[in-house]
Structure 1
Amino acid sequence: MPHVHRRPKMSISRCALLCLSALLALSSTASAAENGFEYGSGLRGPAEWGGFCANGTKQSPINVVIADTVLDKSLRDRLDTEYGKCTYAVIINDKSAHHLDVEGDGSFGNLTLNGVKYELVKFHFHSPSEHTIDGVSFDLEMHLFHKSADGKFAVIAIFFNESHDDDAESPFLKQVFSWLPNITQPDTNVTTMAPITLESLPLQGSYAQYSGSLTTPPCTEGVSWVVMLNETQKMSCPQFGAYQKVFPEANNRPVQNTRCRSVTRFEHA
């Protein structure tokens, strides 16, 4: 009769430990999936983001080095926008995205860029700024987020700095930040009682253009970026303080390697 090799029986305690380990691993995976990405140096911070965030070749944000940009005289001195003046908005404390998000109850208007028409669907904020200009960071960066009919993205970045001037209050930010006390808790929102107007935004002057990505996972590439260069806006100390009270933690992705990408600019006379 051939000799039969029998596997030793696993003890109940060892089996229980393996089952517990498997459950903990599943729990950890589920928790990571539920909580998504984070900022800072933690296990879900920018250095650990996967997909395009880790392997892409045209990532955002970048440090715009003015001396390295290419002057393009074909660019217009004012961006081709048609923003509406009668759109109410929902202001959201978005826990999963870690930022203040503003969505219109209708279209905010349109941007035409490089022959493509995009709809302004929302805007949000990062502090400190994600893009830098010649290595200089700003207190706040607003992203006007546009989407075309075929799913392409275009984003306009506008910078704000805190100022102690008497006239430093931003009329535009006032429309949004005055509602911050209503959304102090994550995943809460409030609908504005008056339309949001974008007419006070600085959409003329010098700006840079380049091809990049979303700055949050999955860091999708093919995004057309417009970065306003010399129209940094003022905001008052109370305004910035109201923002920091609700969003005290930094939510900026570090600047990414340009990888020899061409960055063009329009220089306002």
Structure 2
Amino acid sequence: MAADANNRGSTAAATALIAEDEPLLAQALQAALRREWPELQVLANVGDGVQALSKTLALRPALCFLDIRMPGLTGLEVAQALAEDWPAQEAPFPLLVFITAHDHYALQAFEHAAVDYLLKPVEPARLARCVQRLRQTLAARQAAPAAQAPALDDTLAQLRGLLAQSGGPAASAPPPPRLQVIQAGAGSAVHFVPVEDVLYFEAADKYVRVITAEAEHLIRMPLKELLPQLDPDRFWQIHRGTIVQARCIRTAVRDESGKVHLTLRGRPEKLTASRLYAHLFRAF
């Protein structure tokens, strides 16, 4: 186990995690990888997105095979969380391979080496091409560690594209009406909060915190349902759990890990924008 721990995140180790909620498909993929890439060490084989996230952060594999649709968290949500929580200064960000039964995910966002995909059922020829790409990318990382930062930038850009089109066919439907007023219940009262007054929204378990300069409210709505109802030019998602009104941002300071820390007008606390959304602050 000590040797395995020392190899975590090393490109030479060729380590992987498989996250697939259908046990037979997971076993078949692991067996196919064993035939195609005998030296690849599969550190974990998990069946839901929550385990995929925790195990990947703990084991730091060089590769992650993520099922697009899993219970708990989807493969895209796992990738988003990894992009936000990955200790980039300690280990290279893992190469991502998404597993999907839906062709609409297999679009141009997958055409670069930073992110790849496999369609179910996985065909041997397609897996062989994927393995070849992964081998080449790992070898390039090992030969030129300084190139890892641009590679991570490429991965983040592709993840943003995938997240933007993750609704699939529904993405072409007319957007819902823009919210003008938030109705937040508090006991027997209902507070009507103009959206214009909201500084930021923050996910809190099954609720969303609605923060203004003067008060805080709770609404029972997932953040991912709220986001399409907000004007994207005014409200920026800066983290998987945070949406901020852009005009309320006072300062933005980037740290060494690539995260951006924000101060807001009218609030004492600071917000953190993850690496995935740092591109919004173009001065950086």
Which interval holds the TM-score relative to the shorter structure?
A: under 0.3
Write 1 or 2 for the structure with the bigger share of helix. 2
> Which structure is larger by alpha-carbon Rg, 1 or 2?
1
After TM superposition, the score normalised by the length of structure 2 is 0.23
After TM superposition, the score normalised by the length of structure 1 is 0.24
